[in-house]
Structure 1
């Protein structure tokens, strides 16, 4: 059953919650929200049976959540803050792809973040300007109302069939509606280049597990190395999979291995 929480700035955030044990918030990436993302729903169900009190939410402006353009990183962090408070004020965060940059920003600001899991965050080189350029381009397209253009820009460099499948699929109206929210993803990635990363992430005290698929793209491995070098405490871990995808059971196993007991706890459904 969908539940709701309101952020401090008045945006209503929709979420699902299941399980009991270690509080965990799952933060989706660029194209993820509950109505179009069965993989994350699957991994949430797996985690709920492995000792986690897990929350999956629609980010601001997506799915059943509220919010109006322009969308930005501050609104994403406000949503995470509200969800951590729902879970009692302390939680682990899992960030998928660009959602990993949001998780890092939240961990730099929120005191209750105890551990980070970061799945293949697509960072450009430290100190570069690619992120700022992409953010400016997304903002220009959003201001022009060119939602398809935002998606075409975002998927440049990816296998062309990814965009074509999205554009021709029955869920295209949902993706089209949420296109302006990609400004927040672009801002989060630009933020990771806005200062030396050791300096930028100095407030992050949570231990980070930087996750990579076993057959990932080479630039993802370079990005993971940059994250590990730049955080006070971090490690790399491999998840079986390829091409920026994972199997739910494999990802859940890796996250559950970090539980203090090393074993799943009793599950709770809601």
Structure 2
């Protein structure tokens, strides 16, 4: 990241941009930084000015206590102001929830696209989210960062053998360093239910996307978002999972954003 701006509370945010035209801000999900979205930014930058940034508490960006979702919305407001005063947003996973909250807050946006924002679609899933929040809060309060990461990986559906393999990998130390930001993504997701009332306040066009190879509940959640937004559209991408291929996603986003 080669640029910095100051958010409303003084937190320094690291970002970079490439390309020309309408600004598109890419919002990463849990356990990721702006660099995670670089493979998607590259093809989009051929048609737009694409901005990637490290959300507060991760990467090269700073952090300021106490955390509140509103501070992350203010971070996006500062970025949008820095790149011309109006932009479109794309958010992946829990980053999609942040993008939707930013849109509902009235930020100067043209379009919002989200990919597989993981809202719960059953009472059982909501109960699981509640347990996750309770256990994550306790683990982070007691400094058990490794356990916090494990809790998140289990929530995503990874098995114990895969989690143990991750623990033994060179990436584990970096994952533990980012563990406190898991609480931020958890807060952005709210109680895990589709925030239909909040979504009904979004006035800009919203494209909610899912992969056809993802679990059915992911597609149901994506469709529920589109149905809850006054100007919402649902799109399923053939053969794609939660780890969507940038070369498949980029043309879909470009067609939507150019409108």
TM-score > 0.5, shorter chain as reference? yes
In structure 2, stretches of 5+ residues that fail to align are none
1:50-82, Cα deviation, whole Å (9 max, x unpaired): x11111111101010000455442232121111
Change (3 A) 1:68 1:141: farther
Cα deviations by residue, 1:137-183 (Å, 9 ceiling, x for unpaired): 32221111111111111111512265345422222222111100111
Q: How far apart, in 2, do the equivalents of 1:70 and 1:152 lie?
A: 24
The aligned residue for residue 266 of structure 1 is: none
SS for the counterpart of 1:242 is coil
**Secondary structure of the residue that 2:189 maps to in structure 1?**
helix
1:85-128, CA deviations, whole angstroms, 9 ceiling, x for partnerless residues?
11212111111001111111111113312211110011013885
Identify the residue that residue 243 of structure 1 maps to in structure 2. 241
Residues 132 and 190 of structure 1 are in contact (CA less than 8 Å); yes or no, is this contact kept in structure 2? no
Say if 1:226 and 1:217 are closer, same or farther in 2 by CA, change over 3 A: same
Q: What RMSD over aligned residues (CA atoms) do the two structures have, in Å?
A: 2.2
- After the TM superposition, which of the residue ranges 166-175 and 3-12 deviates more from structure 2? 166-175
Shift of residue 240 of structure 1?
Answer: 4.2
Q: CA deviation at 1:34?
A: 3.7
- Runs of 4 or more above 6 Å deviation: none
SS of residue paired to 2:23: strand
1:150 matched residue in structure 2: 148
Count of residues in correspondence between the two structures: 255
**2:31: which partner in 1?**
31
Change (3 A) 1:260 1:63: closer
Distance 1:92 1:162 in 2: 36
Deviations 1:25-64 (A, max 9, x none): 10001121145x2xx2111011101x11111111101010
Any stretches of 5+ residues in structure 1 without a counterpart? Answer: 262-270
Task: Give the secondary structure class of the aligned counterpart of 1:235.
Answer: strand
Q: Which has the higher contact order (CA 8 A, sep 6+)?
A: 1
1:74 aligns with 2:70: yes
User: Which residue of structure 1 aligns with residue 14 of structure 2?
Assistant: 14
SS for the counterpart of 1:250 is: helix
Q: Distance in 2 between matches of 1:124 and 1:188?
A: 13
**Secondary structure in structure 2 of the residue aligned to 1:243:** coil
Aligned in 2, Cα 1:248/1:206: closer, same or farther, shift over 3 Å?
A: same
